[in-house]
Amino acid sequence: MALPDSGPLLSPTTNTTSPDSRSETQPSNLRRASEVFWAEHYKWLEDCGYLLRPRYRPDWIPSWQGTSKDPPACEDWIKLEYASVLDATRISDGEFVMLKAVRRKDHPFEVEIARYLMSDPLRSDPMNHCVPILDVLAVPDEPRDIIVMPLLRHFSDPPFQTFGEVVGCLRQLFEGLYFMHKNHVAHRPQLNAFSDCMILNIMMDPKPLFINSFHPFRPHRTRDLKGVPRHYSRTQRPANYFFIDFGLSRRYDPSVTNPLEPIIMGGDNTVPEFKSRKPQNPFPIDVYYIGHAIQETFLDEYDGFEFIEPLVLDMVQEDPSLRPTMEQAVSRLEDTCQGVGSWKLRSRLTAKKEGLLQSFLKDIAHWSRRLQYILRRLPAVPRPQQ
């Protein structure tokens, strides 16, 4: 079992638009203004079946006060990173969940679309890779809802090890976006100053991979901050990937063949349609977003992805009419990957900036794992059980 590679801490959330502005960055031993909402609703959420961490108790006293403890080593020192999202524990079974507060005036369709995508029979569609909605709570006397979701982790953390693991991920992402499009929903991911492409709107269910739980806002530490969470590889324990954030998503009547939406400025400014201020069809923009995310995450960072480069380049064409639909992208990805041999799929991802010594050491570890996977007859392209 491998330990997580070092890397930047990644938040399990992306939305920063509600209920308040993004948390300030100056350290404090008191709650931030953006945390007050959660503290004020601590008892109500507990009555609803969800327990917040000790920091948000109305009578909270910092655990380091009056002691010799180092405050940053204390769990209740950790401050809210994004004002609209907080983790909780479901009281009925101890399951860790995420709570997302949504202002109805800011995102009037988010709850409706999220529920629609999780309704029957869409819920059971094997191509549905939208985040499961566990509950929706209407905040008393406020025009807000709280969406309850599973605790997820950024889709590329821990890092992918093989080409086959990446192919397994891309299959799910292409299927998931195609699923939304064939059900007349444009994702239109929420982009902001802290997220310049679609990659922060793609998450992973960490439960199959992780042996012990991690802290939602310190994902490279165990929940008590005392250790490093251990995990399996995606080849050993295939992961499920999910699209999140439907605050800007739109659902259209099937009779609408060319919907037009205002341009959302301020995010991924490489989108060719953003050069025009005129309303645009959001479906080809979705195709561009995911193509650009793959380009930045994999093609620009690692050698050896020539086999999917033609498809990705088509997805980021300047002219939206030349981009494939997601249905076509799913078919092309499958056709492309059918022609890739097991040797390639089991090969290690090699970063373009990787040094010789680092590469040598990683190769040794990789071949040890690879032989074990072959002997255990683990598929080169992981597929999670439905």
Q: How high is the pLDDT of residue 10?
A: 31
Residues 205 and 301 in one domain: yes
- The pLDDT value recorded for residue 218 is 95
pLDDT at 289: 92
Residue type, 70: D
What are the pLDDT digits (tens) for 301-334? 999 999 999 999 999 999 999 999 999 999 999 9
Read off the pLDDT of residues 78-126 as tens digits, 9 standing for 90 and up: 999 888 999 999 999 999 999 999 999 999 999 999 999 999 999 999 9
Domain membership of residue 12 (yes or no) is no
112 belongs to a structural domain: yes
Task: Based on the fold, state whether residues 270 and 296 are members of the same structural domain.
Answer: yes
The verdict on 341 and 226 lying in the same domain is: yes
Burial state string for 158-192 with b = 16 or more CB within 10 A and e = fewer than 16: bebbbbbbbbbbbbbbbbbbbbbbebbbbbbbbbe
Total tally of structural domains belonging to the chain? 2
Q: Which of 119, 151, 162, 163 is nearest to 11 (CA)?
A: 151
The phi and psi torsions of 142 (rounded to 5 degrees) equal -140, 145
Give the contacts of 185 (CB within 8 A, at least 6 positions apart): 113, 116, 117, 249, 250, 251, 252
Q: Any idea what the CATH number is for the domain that residue 88 is in?
A: 3.30.200.20
Residue 41 in tokens:
């609703």
Average pLDDT over residues 248-260: 95
264 and 277 housed in the same domain: yes
What CATH number corresponds to the domain at position 311? 1.10.510.10
Q: Is the pLDDT of residue 152 over 80?
A: yes
Q: Which domain holds residue 104?
A: 34-122+131-151
Residue type, 141: D
pLDDT digits (tens, 9 = 90+) for 162-176: 999 999 999 999 999
State the pLDDT at residue 215.
96
Residues 174 and 318 in one domain: yes
Listed residue (212, 229, 233) closest to 221, CA to CA:
229
Which whole number is the average pLDDT over 267-275?
82
Is residue 190 very low, low, confident or very high in pLDDT (cuts 50, 70, 90)? low
Of 197 and 297, more confident: 297
* Distance from C-alpha of 284 to C-alpha of 273, rounded to nearest angstrom: 9
Contact by Cβ (8 Å): 162, 346? yes
Q: Does some domain include residue 113?
A: yes
Could you tell me the pTM of the whole model? 0.88
Residues 59 and 104 in one domain: yes
> Is residue 19 domain-resident?
no
Q: What is the pLDDT of residue 62?
A: 93
Which is more confident, 386 or 82? 82
Instruction: List the one residue out of 193, 197, 196, 214 whose CA is nearest residue 12.
Output: 214
Q: What is the pLDDT of residues 12-30, one digit of tens each?
A: 333 333 344 333 333 344 7
Q: Which residues pair with 125 in a beta bridge?
A: none
Same domain, 371 and 247: yes
Question: What number of other Cβ atoms are within 10 A of residue 223's Cβ?
Answer: 17
Same structural domain for residues 318 and 204?
yes
Bond before 158 cis per omega within 30 degrees: yes
Over range 260-287, report the average pLDDT. Answer: 86
> For the chain, what is the HEC assignment?
CECCCCCCCCCCCCCCCCCCCCCCCCCCCCCCHHHHHHHHCHHHHHHHCEECCHHHCCCCCCCCCCCCCCHHHCHHHCCCCCCCEEEEEECCCCCEEEEEEEECCCCCCHHHHHHHHCCCCHHHCCCCCECCCCEEEECCCCCEEEEEEECCEECCCCCCCEHHHHHHHHHHHHHHHHHHHHCCEECCCCCECCECCHHHHEEECCCCCECCCEECCEEEEECCCCCCCCECCCCCCCCCEEECCCCCCEECCCCCCCCCECCCCCCCCCCHHHHCCCCECHHHHHHHHHHHHHHHHHHCCEECCCCCHHHHHHHCCCCHHHCCCHHHHHHHHHHHHHCCCHHHHCCECEECCCCHHHHHHHHHHHHHHHHHHHHCCCCCCCCCCC
The answer to whether residue 14 is domain-embedded is no
Q: Give ∠ CA 177-179-183 in degrees, rounded to 5.
A: 115
Confidence band for 265, pLDDT divided at 50, 70 and 90: low
Question: Above 50 in pLDDT, residue 275?
Answer: yes
CA dist 129 and 57 (Å) reads 34
